Amino acid sequence: CVPSSWICDDIPDCLDGRDEQGCVQGVPKHCFFTCRNNVTCLPSRQLGDGHQDCADGEDE
């Protein structure tokens, strides 16, 4: 019912709240992708956006 970047963002967007159900506890809400260095977590909107966020560019 919503774009993937809105899922598990701590804001219920679907009327039934299903976009916030089943989210992993202890993982930052913005963390959709973790770089190989296991330090940098990126939201989905930063994957394939033409800007290298991970040190080795794996997010592109």
Q: 33 to each of 7, 15, 16, how far by Cα in Å?
A: 13, 26, 26
Q: What is the pLDDT, as a whole number, of residue 29?
A: 62
Q: What is the pLDDT, as a whole number, of residue 24?
A: 64
Q: What is the pLDDT, as a whole number, of residue 52?
A: 92
Give residue-wise pLDDT tens across range 17-48. Answer: 888 887 765 555 667 888 887 777 888 888 89
For the chain, the structural domain boundaries read 1-51
